[in-house]
Amino acid sequence: MVFLLFIIILIQVSFTYCYAEFCNVPTFSLKHLNNSTLNKIIIITRHGDRNSIFANVNQTKCNEGECVIGELTDIGKKQMNNLGIAINQLLKEYGISNITFESIRAQSTQCNRTINSAKALIEGLLNQKVNTELIDTTNSQYFAPHYIIDNTTVAERNKRLKILEDTMNDNIKQLIFKFKRLFKGEFKTTNLITSFINVYDYLQVLNCYNIPFPSNEKEQITIDDVISSEMYLSYMAGYLLDSQVSSLSTKYLRDEIISFLDGTSICKETNCSTSSLPIIELISGHDDTLYSLMVSLHQQDIQLPPYSSHIFIEKVQIGIDYFVRASYNSQILRICNNQVKLCPFQEFKDWLK
């Protein structure tokens, strides 16, 4: 009985922590490294808020079971815009104030909310309007595990999905059916993880703002449903994006990071020299983009990333040597084999491969 009580308390504390993490929109608070020169930075982001509920704050009743989740909202755009403004301030601390769009390599998945998130971030960074057509989506399929079509990766992912479905307990099955009834336009049992994330995000936002959960005449979503969703999603993410699958699905992204930091990224112009390469790379992705990369960065206790979460990687010069610093939502990560906060660049390259 005492053990059961301990488990219940542990679950409640865990949810409270995750809930607080989700409700507190990540802010960028990194300070520049003293006595260093910035060489390049890479920003990998999850898109901003995409919950259309804020258009009708007090209307959470489902219309004949149709609770639909929208694209990037004005709140989401503001989140990403603020991130760009904060990064601009960091660049100024490094003595860089002449950033133009030519200084930026902007890539995104082929999804409106990630493209518009990239646009909002860049507009905050440059303090000027930019055209979404300038954001490259050519490599979309490589920037989120759920987009990747590589046969080996898909096979490993499907194998795990099958095991998850076969071992799913009755409580989760009932929750799925409940969500399916209330979210007919959004919840698809054929795409379980995406549907779960969509609904979970939506419910978390309602919870953050003390807005009633969706209901119809027959049933009501409860806080217990939200807790169960969070627990199952955390388990699902850790299982579907384990070290093997994450290693496979982030292979292109890791190569891109190393290539960009190394100054060997391919220029679009024919006669491009290394000195004319961009110094900033932005990759606008999804929650699984960040989650799988955090696994590949050998981090522990990874949480489901809130909206506008970001991994920030800096390459700096100190004396004649180059070093790399990585952070997640402005929390410095311990990287490389020695688990250090500042890693020699060559060691980082070898470690990330």
pLDDT for res 52: 61
Q: What is the tens place of the pLDDT at every residue in 96-119?
A: 988 999 999 999 999 999 999 999
**Residue 218 identity (one-letter amino acid):** K
- Please name which of 218, 209, 41 lies closest in space to residue 121, comparing C-alpha atoms: 41
pLDDT band at 226 (very low <50, low <70, confident <90, very high): confident
Q: Are 336 and 343 in contact (CB under 8 A)?
A: yes
Mean pLDDT of 205-222: 82
Measured CA to CA, the distance from residue 130 to residue 228 in angstroms comes to 41
Specify the pTM: 0.85
Measured CA to CA, the distance from residue 9 to residue 239 in angstroms comes to 24
Q: Which ranges constitute the DSSP H helices of the chain?
A: 2-23, 74-93, 112-126, 151-167, 170-182, 192-208, 223-240, 243-249, 251-262, 287-296, 345-352
Apex CA 216: angle with CA 210 and CA 219, to 5°? Answer: 85
Burial class (CB in 10 A: 0-12, 13-18, 19+), 264: exposed
pLDDT for res 70: 58
pLDDT greater than 70 at residue 241: yes
pLDDT for res 67: 53
pLDDT band at 3 (very low <50, low <70, confident <90, very high): very low
Structure tokens at 285: 């992705």
Q: What is the tens place of the pLDDT at every residue in 42-63?
A: 999 999 987 765 444 444 455 5
Walk me through the domains of the chain, giving residue ranges and CATH numbers: 2-352 (3.40.50.1240)
pLDDT for res 333: 98
pLDDT greater than 90 at residue 178: no
Backbone CA torsion sign across 176, 180, 186, 189:
positive
